[in-house]
Chains A and B, each alone.
Chain A
Amino acid sequence: MGEILLQIDGREVKVEEGMTILEAAQSTGINIPTLCYHEKLEPYGACRICTVEVETGGRTNLVAACLYPVQENLVVMTRSEKVDKIRKMLLELMIAHAPEAGALQELAQEYGANKDRFEKEPSFCILCGLCVRYCAEVKKKNAVGFVDRGGRREVIFIPEIAAKECWNCKECFPLCPTEALQAGYLLTEALAFPSGNR
């Protein structure tokens, strides 16, 4: 694989071809916030908190750093007025669902996000899918998955699989950026009421 020369936050950076902006930044010690990213998993691009501004061929674009492949002469700004504004709003939107989540609170402070901007609807979940994807991609068990779509999307343990697999694993719990207890609750619920009559 060849090397690619690009610019991140004004610094010339030389990285391997095929890397994403996020990997390139991490390799040179530049921090881009992430919530749904995990190095063992396929990039997912759902939380959009890693949104950065890129410039190619005279045009600027807002892209997800965890997915955007590096290109020769790409100019990346990991912070800008636009980027910060997006991250602030995304945090405000997510924090309405997980008000006590440490990871969100820390970022909220950094980006000046107002924790009370939107009415609280605590579900303790921001649907980052780390648990779902870890179970599918690393454990290859698919014991936990998404159901429904749009505003009704949620995470559910599949009782038949969870009963066999989860008690001795629980490796997804510590991955949760909001509240691992919620995962425990959902798992218990799935096992206690496998037909969904809760």
Chain B
Amino acid sequence: MPRINSPTELEELRKSILSKRDPDRPCIAICAGTSCLALGNDRVIGAFEEEIKKQSLEAKVDIRATGCHGFCEKGPNIVIYPEEICYMEVIPEGVSDIISQTVLGKKVIDRLIYTDPNTGEKAAHQSEIPFYKNQMRHLIGNNTKVDPKSIDDYLALGGYSALSKSLFEMTPEQVLEEIKKANLRGRGGGGFPTGLKWETARNAPGEKKYVIVNAHEGEPGAFMDRALFTGNPHSVLEGLIIGAYAIGSHQGFIYTRHDTPQLRNNIVVALTQAEGYGLLGENILGSGFNFNVEVHLDIGIFVSGESSALMRSIEGKTPEPRPKYIRTAVSGIWEKPSNLNNVETWANVPQIINNGSEWYTSIGTERSKGTKLISLSGNICNTGVVEVPMGTSLREIVYDIGGGIPNGKKLKAIHFGGPLGGSIPASLLDTPLDFDELAKLGAPMGAGGMLVMDEDTNMVDVARFFLNFLTDESCGKCVPCREGIRQMLKILTNITQGKGREGDVALLEELAEVAGNASLCALGRTSSNPLLSTLYYFRDEYEGIKENG
């Protein structure tokens, strides 16, 4: 791997990669995301390899095992380039037909393309399939175009041009200013302005500073960060290096899960390749800027995604939230300024630098800019990873993209933000996807897990489910969280078993208030969100007047 020593050399390398690629050469992009792999896509990949070998097509047809395409419901998914034909629910037995008829014969196989269950209309291309065509896939869209283990694929799409631009055409202050002007807000759940956080870390006293990717994603029902990071690791890494440059950090950490081997592996390969090209390490691109990255693994507990617990975990300690009243951007890992952003936030950075803050702020609502990744699941026809501009109404996500509720059922509620989020009723379906609008309704977006629930759902059970999760996943250190959740869970369990008592609701509210006001960290303080939102919108279910919708 030749080391790249200047922006000119980077562009030359890019040209040489592109010159060796024939845009008309067929390429089969096979989803190797978590869901498709679980559906047996490794066998599909194997079948394609075998078939290509059998027909001696190695020199004519490429295979690309990619990250998640998004339409998990219809997996295993493949996309055939250059025509961009999407085939769904592909099985190994169908592979030889795909090669002979579509790849070589240029004919679309009808039974493998998307059929609209309502209209019976067929669609062969991403640009025609409702699930895809109603999205704006700025972040996740490249997943089908890159092999996560190939930095050259990323470079072919213009990768690391934002890093080169930042290092050679902008000062750290200008990069920071651009992110501030873009009004990028943290995608991990808080929606805190990223530029302000960076500025705090940049201005905090001390030479040593750290930047961290929070790739923990422990929220049940959230799977978009791993789809993005596993599928396109360099987009996150490029954002991280740019952020480090803006903040003045020379050491980064990637904190991720011990139980996602594919993601871990892709991260390690990406780091090695970036280092090989001199995009990471000493004197990046010959700019004089040094930056290294280490990977740290969690021990499998939800609270280790909390920023201060995560930082303690990197220090090698038990992942318990730190009780101190000081921001981690000022005093984090080993009490040095530490800037933590989640996977999706970092991935937004390169496109903001490339296209400018004005372009970025043209997407979204007044106070929530850009696109947002959503993990769409629950009682929904099209489960999958979705990316839409902020401001898209929940109705569009559920019906136009999600295809509505299966089995002819009615929509009852939408839950955002997992165990620390809230549920809103179907009557609020025209609410736009927006940090503040959703928070106002008691269903803060969180990281973007969107759980759709049909009319058969018991909302008390929903609240109970999340509290049950939290009682196992809180660290157990402080009383209001540990004991408050324990008691709330007991009461809810009683209610769901028909053993509710007079005064239960008032006691629940009191417990929720104390946990919300007195807990040590954000997990405890927001642990009762699902309870409070369901109490607010579905109170009759708590009071035993079961609605049979």
Contacts and interface: CB of A to CB of B under 8 A. Distances in A.
Contact of A151 (B318, B486, B510, B519): B486
B473 A43 contact: no
B120 to A, nearest CB: 50
Given A48-B478, A64-B520, A69 B471 contact: no
Interface string A42-78: 0111111101000000000011100111000000000
Interface residues of B, number: 32
Interface stretch (A89-97, A159-167, A171-179): A89-97
A149 B320 CA distance: 10
Nearest to A63: B325
A127 B476 contact: yes
Contacts of B482: 127, 150-151, 153
B480 A151 contact: no
B392 interface: no
Contacts of A94: 479, 483
Give the secondary structure class of A's interface.
Answer: loop
Interface string B504-534: 0000001101100111100000000000000
A86 to B, nearest CB: 5
A151 B324 contact: no
Contact of B483 (A51, A67, A93): A93
A89 B478 contact: no
A46 B519 CA distance: 8
B517 A150 contact: no
A6 interface: no
B472 A48 contact: no
A119 interface: yes
A48 B480 contact: yes
Interface in B464-521: 470-480, 482-487, 490, 510-511, 513-514, 517-520
A157 B190 CA distance: 39
A108 interface: no
Given A47-B479, A90-B480, A93-B479, A151 B518 contact: no
Nearest to A68: B325
A170 to B, nearest CB: 25
A152 B487 CA distance: 14
A90 B524 CA distance: 14
A139 B476 CA distance: 24
B439 interface: no
Given A45-B520, A94-B483, A126-B479, A86 B514 contact: yes
Given A149-B301, A150-B474, A46 B518 contact: no
24 contacts: A45-B478, A46-B323, A46-B520, A49-B479, A51-B517, A62-B517, A64-B323, A64-B520, A85-B513, A86-B514, A86-B517, A90-B518, A93-B483, A97-B483, A118-B487, A127-B479, A148-B476, A149-B473, A150-B471, A150-B473, A150-B476, A150-B485, A151-B471, A152-B472
Interface of A: 43-49, 51, 62-64, 67-69, 82, 85-86, 89-90, 93-94, 96-97, 118-119, 126-127, 129, 146, 148-153
Given A96-B483, A153-B476, 7 more contacts: A43-B323, A48-B520, A63-B325, A118-B487, A150-B471, A150-B472, A151-B471
- What 3 A-B pairs have minimum CB-CB distances, sorted nearest first? A45-B323, A153-B476, A93-B483
